[in-house]
Structure 1
Amino acid sequence: MSEPDLDTPVLDDHLHLDPRHGQGIDAVNEFVRLGGTHLLVVNKPSWHLGVEPDEPEDFQAVFEETIDAVDDATDVLPGRAWPVLGVHPGLISRLVDERGFSPEEARELMAGGIEVASEYVADGRALALKSGRPHYDVTDAVWEASNAVTRTAFERAAEVGCAVQLHTEATEDLTDLAETAEAVGLDPGRVVKHYAAGRLEGVVPSVMSDRDRLERAVESGEPFLMETDFVDDPEKPGMVLGPKTVPRRVRWLLEEGYDEAVRRAHVETPAAVYGIDTEATLADPETR
């Protein structure tokens, strides 16, 4: 049985779908049943899909699988889903620590993967890029290489006119990456930190949807998005948040009287960051 209509678009800004190994479309149906309408589906780390790249073109298999999952999700969503494609920053450790790449060789391969992802955006098959840097301690050379890959993502995003989602260390200050984005012509307002806390300097937070973080985001008065980072991995069922979480939290926010914040997170910020209209794509299927 579906929950009562929330009467608003409900967007999960960052989750993964893995029809081959995980719940896939069943997770989307759970999201819809609770009132969810729109999804930004980020490709899983390449190695989770059995891809150990040697050339940038090797990432295409990961991107195509993600796009197929997005198409299937759009078929059951009241609104639609969009793909976010790129290279997980944790790949650099696999390349350097396990496969014998130098940091410079890893940077070149990962930047090439970003180039391939940007071609999908340019062709209209993806909405945004994914990049970032490790959230754990690494050598200076790996850190520098990771920042160089992120700069490539910003450069390509500026060229093709899209947003970038970032995976980074836990922080409430990413003004350094905002400055990098500005330096290459990308508006920092189109850069999103996924797995964010309730407040963030420099770029837009995609807030993990627990109540404490959301209350801080609401009180900030600043643009924000909501996410679960659902990993769709049957071996990690309790990892991060499930697909029902964002619609449940939206319902709670509305009950608390935070209607303006819900509109900010699910209509205004998606439009400003990604150029998507969650209201139009919900009201008229032809606009999907």
Structure 2
Amino acid sequence: MDELDSPVLDNHLHLDPDNGRGLDAVEDFVRLGGTHLLVVNKPSWHLGPVPESAADFDRVFGTTLEVVDAASGILPGRAWPVLGVHPGLVSRLVDDRGLEPDAAAELMCSGLDRAAEFVRDGAALALKSGRPHYEVSAAVWEASNDVMRHAFELGAELDCAVQLHTEATDDLTGVAEWAEERGLPRHEVVKHYAGGRLAGPTPSVMSDKDRLEVAADAGEPFLMETDFVDEPDRPGAVLGPKTVPRRVRWLLEEGHDEAVERAHVGTPELVYGIDTRGTLEG
């Protein structure tokens, strides 16, 4: 297959070296022209028990750091880890363990504090937070918003981006304002699993053609992702690791060269301060 004359970044996917495809998925990504990855830690309860303390997050964080290091040895560019607490954990803590929403939020914030230590030390690039994308009680919703606002405070302190898992929407202006109130610029807030247009944060657009066409035509900063979950019992869930490079080829064929440059060079620099061209081999 012809090489692509562009870095190709998947902004949000998961790798599970123990239970999933792990580095085989990275090989697939590279064969199709992929160069860079942002690897987000899987939900903590997927790689161990539901956390009871901040230290319990270390297992999933450590696994992510290890697989990112191994992936960087395969990629023409490199991979970076994004660490944090999946917002769905609140339901595990409240519904399964019987914690009050405020106590669940406190534990989740402690997990974010632990993730922030890795960012502070230069071992991780960004943080992950958000709020449930499904119906929850008013108390759980507010507790989840408190956790997300804490993530913004950490992002501002560390000058790092925060990736969000939220409800489906094309308007998160209010959330972006929460970030700005805490000192984090709205462009450093990234909504994962976004559509082609988004008011407020930077959209990380799911890489289906309809959404990408909207994003390309909008002329605004955006990123591309698959949200590959790397779970063998869900082989068709979300998108596979070959999708982003395939969609980059399609965008170039459709004449969207500027959009490809924006998604894979300009926006990564704007949001994360990373140089996808400079980190390519040679």
TM-score relative to the length of structure 2: 0.99
* Whole-angstrom distance in 2 between the partners of 1:238 and 1:58: 30
Summarize the alignment of residues 1-288 of structure 1 with structure 2, pairs less than 5 Å apart.
3-284=1-282
Q: Is the 8 A contact 1:51 1:62 kept in 2?
A: no
User: Residue type of the partner of 1:213?
Assistant: R
| Per-residue deviation, residues 121-175 of structure 1 (Å, max 9, x unmatched) | 0000000000000000100000000000000100001001100000000000001
- SS, match of residue 134 in structure 1: coil
Q: CA deviation at 1:51?
A: 3.1
Q: CA deviation at 1:45?
A: 0.2
Segments of 5+ residues of structure 2 without an aligned counterpart are none
User: Residue type of the partner of 2:194?
Assistant: A
Q: CA deviation at 1:283?
A: 4.1
Q: CA deviation at 1:196?
A: 0.2
User: Residue type of the partner of 1:172?
Assistant: D
* Whole-angstrom distance in 1 between the partners of 2:139 and 2:214: 35
Q: Which runs of 4+ in 1 moved over 2 A?
A: none
The RMSD of aligned alpha carbons is 0.6
| Per-residue deviation, residues 102-135 of structure 1 (Å, max 9, x unmatched) | 0000000000100000010000000000000000
Q: Is the 8 A contact 2:50 2:92 kept in 1?
A: no
* Whole-angstrom distance in 2 between the partners of 1:14 and 1:268: 17
- SS, match of residue 76 in structure 1: coil
| Per-residue deviation, residues 227-255 of structure 1 (Å, max 9, x unmatched) | 00000000000000000000000000001
- SS, match of residue 280 in structure 1: coil
Q: Is the 8 A contact 1:51 1:59 kept in 2?
A: no
Q: Is the 8 A contact 2:224 2:263 kept in 1?
A: yes
| Per-residue deviation, residues 180-208 of structure 1 (Å, max 9, x unmatched) | 00110000110000000000000000000
Segments of 5+ residues of structure 1 without an aligned counterpart are none
TM-score relative to the length of structure 1: 0.97
- SS, match of residue 229 in structure 2: coil
* Whole-angstrom distance in 2 between the partners of 1:97 and 1:33: 43
Q: Is the 8 A contact 2:164 2:191 kept in 1?
A: yes
